[in-house]
Amino acid sequence: MTSGDQDAYVVVTGGSRGIGAATARVAAQAGYNLALTYKSNQSAADAVIQAVEEEGRRAVAQPFDMATGNVEELFQTFDAAGLGRLHGLVNNAGITGPIKCLTEIDQAMLDDLFRINITSLMLCMKEAALRMSTARGGAGGAIVNVSSRAGQLGGAGEWIHYAASKGAVDTLTEGAAKELGGEGIRVNAVSPGLIETEIHAAAGAPERLEKMVGGVPLGRAGAAEEVAEAIVWLLSGKSSYVSGANIAISGGR
């Protein structure tokens, strides 16, 4: 039995790979239509669309640069796609930036990181809230921000800049949950730990998981699908009294 609304759709940013792609597939299995963004890999986005359609759901994928794109126009494009009403937003798109210590970072790196990980994420929340708010004629809904355990652990010696951006996401999640709860919108976050995705290689550390997995109490890295299951639960009515939560998906690390 599905838990989604077949006349509703969920936006997943960064939906062509990793946690975003897994979330789209699990959300389709739960009965949601999907609206995805991807930066440049159309073939990967097409593969996710195909997987969604194989579940009997509808989907669109929109190329979008989270650093420079117009978020308002993005949501207007999704409005016109015929997927139904907006039920949820999964803010998954993000970057780590290169592995650097505090004394090695520069302003250009920070500008890019914060535009993608904070500014665009917050603007997506705004556009979703405008559409879902019961105070504005919407039917309510759910927002899930993909944060990171780095936001609590600090990212020292690796990604202190990335960790700072995810700490901001954690604070934003808690504040928005309090602000939007009265308008029928639940806001939560998930904080993945060491997950098997392309993010490590993209940051120049393909061996990172192997080196760090010894510090995970469960003794292994996680899978993108394990994060996706938690995200879709937070989107669904099964989590109807959960808001302002930040769920660590980290094997105990």
Active-site positions read 162
The size of the chain, in residues, is: 253
Going by C-beta distance under 8 Å and a sequence separation of 6 or more, which residues neighbour residue 56? none
Give yes or no for a contact between 118 and 163, defined as CB atoms under 8 angstroms apart.
no
Calpha distance 13→20 (Å, rounded):
7
Locate tokens 């780590």: which residue?
Answer: 96
